[in-house]
Amino acid sequence: AQTVTQSQPEMSVQEAETVTLSCTYDTSESDYYLFWYKQPPSRQMILVIRQEAYKQQNATENRFSVNFQKAAKSFSLKISDSQLGDAAMYFCAHRQTDAGGTSYGKLTFGQGTILTVHP
């Protein structure tokens, strides 16, 4: 079964600085998708960035980028030039693509990391 682990329950960063959130995962699949979702106090789940496992190039979205290490099963999120609006809970998630198994299309989430941004 897939597992996703976020080892940092809480992180903090100064405004305009850079912070990296860690995520490791375990899967027997060779093809899969990885995601970072942001959950602000409004509790809405907002997609930050996604990575296809078959792509070697790391995904980037404006100030957000990932360091995807497939062999190490590591998927960290780097937030550059942090802003007050980045404060939220961040979830790393793995998406199952195997139609032959159970829970087809299931997202497996980590426990989340609370990010605080200090002005």
Partner 1 sequence: NAGVTQTPKFQVLKTGQSMTLQCAQDMNHEYMSWYRQDPGMGLRLIHYSVGAGITDQGEVPNGYNVSRSTTEDFPLRLLSAAPSQTSVYFCASSYSPSTDTQYFGPGTRLTVL
Contact residues toward partner 1 (CB under 8 A) are: 4, 33, 35, 37, 42-45, 47, 50, 91, 93, 95-99, 102-107, 109-112
What is the closest distance, in whole angstroms, from the C-beta atom of residue 44 to partner 1 in the complex? 5
What is the closest distance, in whole angstroms, from the C-beta atom of residue 93 to partner 1 in the complex? 8
Q: DSSP for 60-103?
A: EETTEEEEEETTTTEEEEEE-S--GGG-EEEEEEEE---TTSSS
What is the closest distance, in whole angstroms, from the C-beta atom of residue 102 to partner 1 in the complex? 8
Nearer residue to partner 1 within complex by CB, 37 or 68: 37
Count helices and strands in the chain by DSSP H and E runs: 0, 12
Contact 77, 90 (CB under 8 A): yes
CA angle 7, 76, 84 (to 5 degrees): 90
Nearer residue to partner 1 within complex by CB, 42 or 56: 42
Nearer residue to partner 1 within complex by CB, 31 or 81: 31
What is the closest distance, in whole angstroms, from the C-beta atom of residue 56 to partner 1 in the complex? 18
